């Protein structure tokens, strides 16, 4: 159970490169996959920058940084997953995409390998049932940014066996993260609470109760939040926020989870937050400027 040496990470984006980063620093060999060499290269460069920041802050040594980078093997094909013992999917928050990934992963990893998804909202039971090993399938919801955030939600599907659960917990603890167990219900714990708050902030903007700036300032100074909800939504990605709200709305059939039409409009415009240069703030200048 505790003998996992090689972890495969599918997706080199914001979450995937962070997961690869912390796994490599914890001493695991990491096989990092993405669909293109360009995305892989961008992911590796992000890991290098983030590790360099950790060195400057005294969080890790130069030797730890160098050893960590050597442990990461970037690959563009899942054929390289032949020796992976534990695979973590960290692709976009779309069920069809995740299912397609696991269809291929199951053909490439050993029959004994365990699978995890970094989904922030989708049913672990349903994703696991679509694989050839639902008993060896589990949810590991890392928080963003992965190298800094201490929490990982561990979510068992209906079929997840005890060995898979214990292995997953061991890996998370080895990464120096705190385990929170969540039941397999839409959006689990963190996003079940967080996303409706963000969605309500968007409704507050939509209905003209406050401006972007006044809403964020009110929550920072009035509720002692480190970041306003609209700024946080931009950081997470408005497309991700919308996907999670849709999962909540579809899965729980409660109108209180209806995504705000303004959130839908921003996503349709491609203004999905910081990664796109525009969301509720415009990030293309010297400092962020509200877009409403």
Give the residue numbers marked as catalytic.
Answer: 120, 141, 153, 191
Residues 6+ apart with CB under 8 A from 131: 102, 103, 106, 115, 137
- Tokens of residue 276, six digits: 């796109």
Q: Which of 208, 257, 255, 266 is nearest to 233 (CA)?
A: 266
CB 87 within 8 A of CB 107: no
């Amino acid at each position: 159970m505790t003998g996992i040496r090689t972890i495969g990470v599918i997706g080199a984006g914001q979450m995937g490169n962070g997961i690869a980063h912390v796994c490599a620093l914890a001493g695991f060999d990491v096989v990092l996959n993405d669909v293109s060499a360009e995305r892989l290269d961008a992911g590796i460069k992000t890991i290098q920058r983030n590790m360099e920041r950790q060195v400057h802050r005294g969080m890790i040594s130069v030797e730890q940084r160098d050893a960590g980078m050597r442990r990461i093997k970037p690959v563009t094909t899942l054929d390289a997953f032949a020796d992976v013992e534990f695979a973590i999917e960290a692709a976009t928050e779309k069920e069809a995409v995740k299912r397609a990934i696991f269809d291929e992963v199951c053909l490439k990893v050993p029959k004994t390998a365990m699978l995890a998804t970094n989904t922030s909202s989708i049913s672990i039971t349903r994703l696991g049932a679509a694989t050839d090993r639902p008993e060896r399938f589990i949810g590991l919801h890392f928080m963003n940014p992965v190298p800094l955030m201490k929490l990982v939600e561990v979510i068992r599907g209906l079929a997840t066996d005890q060995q898979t659960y214990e292995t997953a917990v061991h890996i998370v603890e080895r990464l120096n993260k705190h385990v929170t167990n969540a039941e397999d219900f839409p959006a689990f714990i963190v996003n079940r609470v967080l996303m409706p708050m963000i969605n309500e902030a968007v409704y507050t903007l939509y209905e003209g109760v406050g401006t972007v700036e006044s809403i964020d300032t009110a929550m920072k100074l009035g509720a002692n939040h480190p970041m306003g909800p609209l700024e946080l939504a931009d950081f997470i990605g408005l497309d991700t926020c919308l996907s999670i709200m849709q999962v909540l709305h579809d899965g729980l059939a409660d109108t209180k989870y209806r995504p705000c039409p303004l959130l839908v409009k921003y996503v349709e415009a491609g203004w999905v937050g910081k990664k796109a240069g525009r969301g509720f703030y415009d990030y293309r200048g010297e400092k962020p400027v509200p877009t409403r």
